[in-house]
Amino acid sequence: MDKLRPVIAIVLCLVIWGVYFKFFAPDTPKSQPKKPTPTEIGKGPGGTNGNGTIVEKPPVDPAQPPPAAFTHPVVAVDNTVLENEVLRVEITNAGASVRRLILKAYKDPFERDEHGNRKDLAFLDEFQAGFRSLSLRDSAGVLPLDTVNWETLEAPAGEVKYRYTTPDGLRIVKTIGLGPEKHAVKLKLEVENISETPLARGLELIGAAGIVQEASGGIYPSDAAGLWRDGKTYSVDTHSSGSGCCGPSAPLKDLTAKMRETDLAGVSWNAAVNKYFVCAIIPRPEDRASVAKFRSWAIEFKAEAKRKLEHEKISRSDPKAKELLDWTVNTVAISAVLKDRTWQKGEKSSTEWVIFAGPKETDALNEGRFKDWRLGDLLDFGWFGIISKLLLTIMGWMHFVFRNWGLAVIALVLIVRMCIFPISKKAQVSMFRMQKLQPQLKVIQERYKGDPSRVNAETMKFMKEQGVNPIGGCLPLFLQLPIFLGLYNALLSDIHLRQQPFFGWINDLSQPDHLANLPFSVPMHATNAFNLLPLVMMATWFIQAFMAPRSPDPQMAAQQKMFMIMPLVIGWMMYMSPSGLVLYWLVSTAWGIAEQQYIKRTYLK
């Protein structure tokens, strides 16, 4: 029996082992499961699967909670409109961004409705499909923040709120609203780490995904930035050359080849501007430290060139078409790149932004906080800006009286010329008297022709005896120069003249008058437009120069001959200038001719 015990034990062990694996042991898989794959992005920008839905399969990380905890839900497109008396903002949850921003007080130079009326100006638009203003980008280019449909959350009246959760547990909330300034769009960006580990991320906020271009030839968008120096001095860089807060600036065509990035030391905001409008992205003062740099670059906008060709009735085979296509396929985009940072477990951050979208007009640029941020400096009238602003104020009063900006321009010219009449009269009386003394001055020149110094001395003595100041005709002209330059700069960029008619064929004082089309291209201007006002202005200006009193001084006489050529040269340079500006020169010149004859007959009897 003792010999059988080992055998019985072995048999019992085999029975127990068989019963256990038969009834109690778990099933053994036939094959090992596949390892998780890396993030899969569907076809199309930002990982869309063809219908706008993002397809993501994040990798499994043993150190992280299950991926399903941070899966962003698939949601449908949801569009919202926010509106006040001046803005209409069309917002979409696709990228939690602005599809279109319309300035309700201004009209598009090209687009018309079915009744032939101009449409409201779409200042910000989706000029490139999928590229929208106020969208957020992942600096690493991994997350589709600017294309995925964000969740729409409950928000107070007048605001919209969206949320996106990244696969690794970074929750981003964007709140978009209006005000309190009329042309202000406000944005609040909140980021929270809901994972168990620190998360690092770099973000870029698109301010404007391009701004609409103006119709006037030769005026293209450029970029600008605000700069604080020592907390007092402020400058704005908007010119095509020179230096400013961002170093040498560049015209639009140069931005095409290279993105321009600012040196952020002291820069408070960045803006895209054209002749009459501006879009500025402004971080809240306490949030400026979160910005690493601002960016400005050109993006293609081929639809704009097509609109211009259709508007000016130019066929694609016309030589001018190629030039328009070369110069007008771009618009300016701006953004703010946030500093890379790491959010610890449970950490939250919040930044706030204001986007100004509106006219380069004094009241709008100086409303509320915009005045403190010095956006008004974008309205630059040059060295004689104080004079320009004063004259624009007077012109505004004249428009209130006449209800026509063309008549307001004429009234302004008459007021200015009447105010400077005493100076002008003194100059012309002096010149006419010198012309009458020319025979006696020639006698002096012949008598002392071998001694130039004696000629000058005797000439000065004689004119003093006659009560004539030899520089009396020049000095008053230099005193008038600041007034004329101030008025010139004011009329060149004043938005009040935009799309304002005068009479007849002059239906837009901010554009050349364009009476008809020529069968050939105008030399030096690459246009077939026949503009009548500049030609009339050149003729009257030449007549005025021809009728001016002649100086007996040979050098002055030579200069006067040169001045007779200037009306032709400068007038031709102004051939494509806004008709409101040309109207000013034309009326001023006509006044000058009448003034010459009046002074000659009244004060020189």
pLDDT of residue 550: 63
Which residue, chain included where needed, has tokens 């499961």? 33
Pairwise CA distance, residues 116 & 108, whole Å: 12
pLDDT of residue 177: 96
CB of 412 within 8 A of CB of 487?
yes
Q: What six digits make up the tokens of 561?
A: 């001959």
The torsion defined by the Cα of 507, 509, 510 and 513, in degrees rounded to 10, comes to 60
φ/ψ bin of 64: left (φ > 0), alpha (ψ from -120 to 50), beta (otherwise): beta
171 closest CA partner among 146, 189, 147: 189
Would you say residue 191 has pLDDT above 70? Answer: yes
Q: What six digits make up the tokens of 359?
A: 């006219």
pLDDT of residue 110: 72
pLDDT of residue 210: 86
Confidence of residue 576 (pLDDT cuts 50, 70, 90): confident
Length reported for the chain: 605
Mean pLDDT to the nearest integer, 180-204: 94
136 closest CA partner among 173, 89, 82, 168: 173
What are φ and ψ of residue 369, in 5° steps?
-65, -25
The helix or strand, by DSSP H or E, that contains position 88, with its residue range, turns out to be: strand 87-92
Lowest mean pLDDT among 209-213, 216-220, 343-347: 216-220
How are beta strands 97-112 and 87-92 bridged, if at all? antiparallel
pLDDT of residue 127: 83
CA angle at residue 89 from 509 to 337, to 5 degrees?
A: 100
Task: Quote the radius of gyration of the chain (alpha carbons, Å).
Answer: 36
pLDDT of residue 266: 62
Would you say residue 433 has pLDDT above 50? Answer: yes
DSSP lists the bridge partners of residue 162 as 152, 174
Q: Whole-number mean pLDDT of the chain?
A: 75
User: What stretches of 265-320 adopt beta strand conformation (E)?
Assistant: 267-273, 277-283, 291-300
pLDDT of residue 7: 40
Q: Half-sphere exposure of 17 toward its Cβ, with a 13 Å CA cutoff? A: 6
CB of 539 within 8 A of CB of 568?
no
Pairwise CA distance, residues 485 & 91, whole Å: 43
**Amino acid type, 537:** M
pLDDT tens digit sequence for 380-401: 777 778 888 888 899 999 999 9
pLDDT of residue 491: 81
Q: Half-sphere exposure of 401 toward its Cβ, with a 13 Å CA cutoff? A: 12
pLDDT tens digit sequence for 544-570: 877 766 655 565 666 666 667 777 888
Sign of CA dihedral 185, 283, 379, 123: negative
What are φ and ψ of residue 385, in 5° steps?
-60, -35
Q: Residue 53, SS3?
A: coil
Lowest mean pLDDT among 14-28, 314-328, 396-410: 14-28
pLDDT of residue 56: 35
Would you say residue 403 has pLDDT above 60? Answer: yes
Cis peptide before 45 (omega within 30 of 0): no
**Amino acid type, 593:** I
Predicted TM-score (pTM) of this structure: 0.74
pLDDT of residue 32: 34
Helix ranges restricted to H, 420-512: 421-436, 438-447, 452-465, 475-493
pLDDT of residue 385: 80
pLDDT of residue 111: 74
Would you say residue 477 has pLDDT above 70? Answer: no
Pairwise CA distance, residues 405 & 121, whole Å: 21
pLDDT tens digit sequence for 454-463: 777 877 777 7
In this predicted model, which residue has the larger pLDDT, 301 or 114? 114
Would you say residue 225 has pLDDT above 80? Answer: no
Mean pLDDT to the nearest integer, 416-437: 79
Mean pLDDT to the nearest integer, 92-115: 89
Would you say residue 516 has pLDDT above 80? Answer: yes
Angle of helix 421-436 relative to helix 475-493, nearest 10 degrees? 140
Confidence of residue 295 (pLDDT cuts 50, 70, 90): confident
For 234, other C-beta atoms within 10 Å of its C-beta total 15
Lowest mean pLDDT among 22-36, 259-273, 298-312: 22-36
Confidence of residue 211 (pLDDT cuts 50, 70, 90): confident
Which residue, chain included where needed, has tokens 């030579």? 558
Confidence of residue 518 (pLDDT cuts 50, 70, 90): confident
Would you say residue 52 has pLDDT above 60? Answer: no
* First-to-final CA distance of the chain: 163
Confidence of residue 322 (pLDDT cuts 50, 70, 90): low
Would you say residue 367 has pLDDT above 80? Answer: yes
